[in-house]
Chains A and B, each alone.
Chain A
């Protein structure tokens, strides 16, 4: 009690002062706005005068002589105006030109007024908040409520992630590597770089996630059936859907809120590059079962790991471990290997070294660790190090193309494009053999193309660009024959020949 009593006056005092400062700023803004309004009024009057001035050749006027006397005189050369341009520069111009100058200045003044009014609004809002704080400070209820909300928020949205992630992952680039299965909340982490407090309520989160998962699965199936047709259209449009989704997810603090965001996820699959992928992945579990629908879903039955790699320009590739595992096992079976399981385990990324282990180039069925995941993937495709190949420009190109293509349609494996010319030809021959490359991340279209899926899951290459390329490669059925004639490095050609 005594402690409470002590605490009360302190924040109050600070809050009062804060309010005072805010008010000062508001007042300052007001005065400045007044000043600019006056200037604006002056310029308007000037503009009028300039319009009427050249009407006559000369005017009879009373010319001021000093502060007290006037003298009758004539105003001549009515079209010649010497205008001050600022900083001691003058220009002689006609009345019309002067008018143009005045207009130009009015624009500037308007801009200033707008900015000032914005600032003023901001600070007025702050004053309001400070006031509220002051009031609630006396009650001492406000703080508590806030804390609760925060906890819930973190519990719902961020907690899970925080465990495995670096605290400073930025929204754009998030190497989300989750060791836990309930990664369904990844969708919300995308934009929320903020709270790393989830660790505190992790267990709560786990329990919650379990519940939500079940609910979502049920709902997803229902909704998908009804909404898929509608939502597909929406997907292509909003690349910022993730933000929306997160916006949806964030405010509703309880578990139920997750549903809407998740529900929207399957709908918004079209842009594979968007961060929605996480959601898609989450939905993958559910959607795998309902593959009859034409919508594009991210297949992700088990979510041991999710890796989102920023491929630049608002694109994100998601590395779906499960897919990789699937494809791996399929490939392995084809090749008669039994390493699927080992790969399965290897797919778990717990340390940076894991990344290197996973992002390996598979040549002739054997994983060859890459020297650097930052190096371009072109090396993979060509025996020699074709560093020049995977230039940034190329990647960008491919990425863009891949993205545009991926938007297109559900039926084919993600990147319908065969733009990655280099890769596409190799894609075909490589498919039969084990392919560890390319990252099935973004575009993978789940169910509509089960056959395509195996192609997609390739060893997670480190470079997002490569991933994209791979995805593009993934449509070997469609694209490669067309693209084959395009650039193919000699090494690739050799390999092709071999195969």
Chain B
């Protein structure tokens, strides 16, 4: 009885750790997005400081490709929106995962209690 519970506990613990890994992965991705967001914000502001006499280039692989200033501004804005959308998506995912991991945690704790009870019983019996 106690052993069965123990096995169960182990399995649940593993699942929980997997979930935690997922959570941390999503968090890392979100962090990356955040840095990109700040980056793009700075680019946007700096593009605003320039005028049309300056040529704007975009680095695509090893090539610097000339771009129009207005085009560049539009592209950066679009990218910003995209990044914001991604961040929100990730936040939703994170929330979801948090909930699941909470449930899992509760399950784990209840299992642990059972296990302890079983242990106590086993000890008593012995």
Contacts and interface: CB of A to CB of B under 8 A. Distances in A.
Interface of A: 82, 85-93, 97, 100-101, 104-105, 108
Contacts of A89: 43, 47, 56-59, 72, 76
Nearest to B38: A108
B55 A91 contact: yes
Contact of B40 (A82, A86, A90, A101): A86
A101 B47 CA distance: 9
Interface of B: 36, 39-40, 42-43, 45-47, 49-50, 54-60, 64, 72, 76, 79
Nearest to B60: A88
Given A82-B57, A104-B45, A91 B39 contact: no
Most buried by A among B39, B49, B64: B49
A108 B42 contact: yes
Nearest to B79: A87
Most buried by B among A89, A90, A105: A89
A87 B58 CA distance: 9
A90 B50 contact: no
A97 B46 CA distance: 10
B76 to A, nearest CB: 7
A87 B56 CA distance: 13
A101 B46 contact: yes
7 nearest interchain CB pairs? A90-B57, A88-B59, A93-B54, A86-B43, A86-B39, A85-B43, A92-B55
A90 B43 contact: no
A108 B54 CA distance: 23
A97 B43 contact: no
A97 B40 contact: no
Contacts of B40: 86-87
Given A90-B64, A108-B42, 6 more contacts: A86-B39, A86-B43, A88-B58, A91-B46, A91-B54, A104-B45
B54 A87 contact: no
A100 B51 CA distance: 13
Contact of A92 (B45, B46, B54, B59): B54
A93 B50 CA distance: 8
Given A92-B54, A97-B49, A104-B49, A85 B59 contact: no
Contacts of A88: 58-60
Instruction: Please classify the interface of chain B as helix (H, G, I), strand (E, B), loop, or mixed, using the class held by over half of its residues.
Output: helix
B39 A92 contact: no
A86 B54 CA distance: 16
Nearest to A92: B55
A87 B72 CA distance: 12
A108 B46 CA distance: 12
A101 B54 CA distance: 13
Contacts of A82: 57
B124 to A, nearest CB: 24
Nearest to B72: A89
A87 B33 CA distance: 12
A92 B54 CA distance: 5
Contacts of A101: 46, 49
A90 B42 CA distance: 13
A85 B46 contact: yes
20 contacts: A82-B57, A85-B42, A85-B46, A85-B47, A86-B46, A87-B39, A87-B79, A89-B43, A89-B47, A89-B59, A90-B56, A90-B58, A90-B64, A91-B54, A92-B56, A93-B50, A97-B50, A104-B42, A104-B45, A104-B49
A91 B56 contact: yes
Most buried by A among B36, B54, B57, B58: B54
A282 to B, nearest CB: 46
B12 to A, nearest CB: 25
A492 to B, nearest CB: 50
A280 B46 CA distance: 54
Contacts of B45: 104
B54 A97 contact: yes
A88 B36 CA distance: 11
B52 to A, nearest CB: 11
Contacts of B76: 87, 89
A100 B79 CA distance: 24
A86 to B, nearest CB: 4
A89 B76 CA distance: 9
Contacts of A86: 39-40, 42-43, 46
A87 B36 contact: yes
B58 to A, nearest CB: 6
Contacts of A87: 36, 39-40, 43, 76, 79
A80 to B, nearest CB: 10
A104 B79 CA distance: 21
B42 A91 contact: no
A92 B57 contact: yes
Nearest to A94: B54
B88 to A, nearest CB: 20
